[in-house]
């Protein structure tokens, strides 16, 4: 098992003592879980005891911003990958999806332990939108490729 050094306590610990985070280069968050808990308790005491409404404001703001950030990132990805289905030319953003060209999407998500599309979008951005493994397909072409191995437009 690999080890990682905590930025807070400077102790070298096994990777299972750090939280997974595909948006970081190492794949793990800093600091370690133990230090993170200590830091969180201190932060909560300082912020929430001084201002109880702070927590409520923070929750409301986060809920409002998250969908916008996700939407903006998706729009950026669609733009970088051409904005249309490479098979049929569909341009409606609601119908487009990022496709693994070599049909290794399930394996790729398992390797990176991704649990959501947002994590995949973040990974694409952190890796400079690789175009050798990914393309845009509309959902119809993507599903047909999955079922038949090739989209009917290409036959």
User: Do residues 37 and 113 both lie within one domain?
Assistant: no
Range of the domain at 121: 71-155
Residue 50 has pLDDT above 70, yes or no: no
Residue 150 has pLDDT above 80, yes or no: yes
User: Do residues 30 and 106 both lie within one domain?
Assistant: no
User: Do residues 115 and 80 both lie within one domain?
Assistant: yes
> What is the per-residue pLDDT for 113?
85
What's the total number of domains in the chain?
Answer: 2
User: Do residues 83 and 144 both lie within one domain?
Assistant: yes
Rounded (10°) CA dihedral 74, 77, 79, 85: -90
pLDDT tens by residue, 1-18: 588 898 889 999 988 888
User: Do residues 87 and 46 both lie within one domain?
Assistant: no
Please enumerate in sequence order all residues whose Cβ is within 8 A of that of 111, keeping only pairs 6 or more positions apart, or say none. none
> If you average pLDDT over every residue of the chain, what do you get?
86
- Helix%, strand%, coil% for the chain, nearest 5: 55, 10, 35
User: Do residues 39 and 81 both lie within one domain?
Assistant: no
Give me the percent of the chain exceeding a pLDDT of 90.
39
Cα Rg for the chain, rounded, in angstroms? Answer: 20
Q: Compute the average pLDDT of residues 124-146.
A: 94
pLDDT tens by residue, 67-80: 888 899 999 999 99
User: Do residues 106 and 151 both lie within one domain?
Assistant: yes
> What is the per-residue pLDDT for 109?
87
User: Do residues 79 and 44 both lie within one domain?
Assistant: no
Residue 52 has pLDDT above 70, yes or no: no
Query: Is residue 61 in some structural domain?
Result: no
Residue 7: CATH number of its domain: 3.30.60
pLDDT tens by residue, 89-120: 999 999 999 999 999 988 998 888 887 788 88
């Amino acid at each position: 098992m690999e080890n990682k050094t905590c930025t807070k306590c400077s102790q070298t610990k096994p990777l299972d003592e750090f939280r997974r985070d595909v948006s970081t280069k190492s794949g793990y968050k800093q600091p370690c879980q133990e230090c993170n808990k200590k830091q969180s308790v201190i932060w909560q005491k300082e912020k929430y005891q001084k201002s109880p409404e702070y927590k409520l404001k923070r929750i409301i703001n986060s809920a409002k911003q998250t969908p916008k950030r996700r939407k903006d990132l998706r729009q950026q990805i669609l733009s970088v990958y051409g904005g249309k289905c490479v098979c049929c030319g569909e341009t409606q953003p609601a119908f487009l999806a990022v496709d693994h060209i070599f049909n290794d999407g399930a394996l790729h998500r398992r390797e990176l332990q991704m649990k959501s599309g947002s994590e995949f979008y973040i990974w694409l951005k952190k890796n400079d939108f690789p175009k050798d493994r990914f393309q845009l397909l509309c959902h119809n072409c993507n599903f047909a490729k999955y079922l038949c191995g090739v989209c009917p437009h290409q036959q």
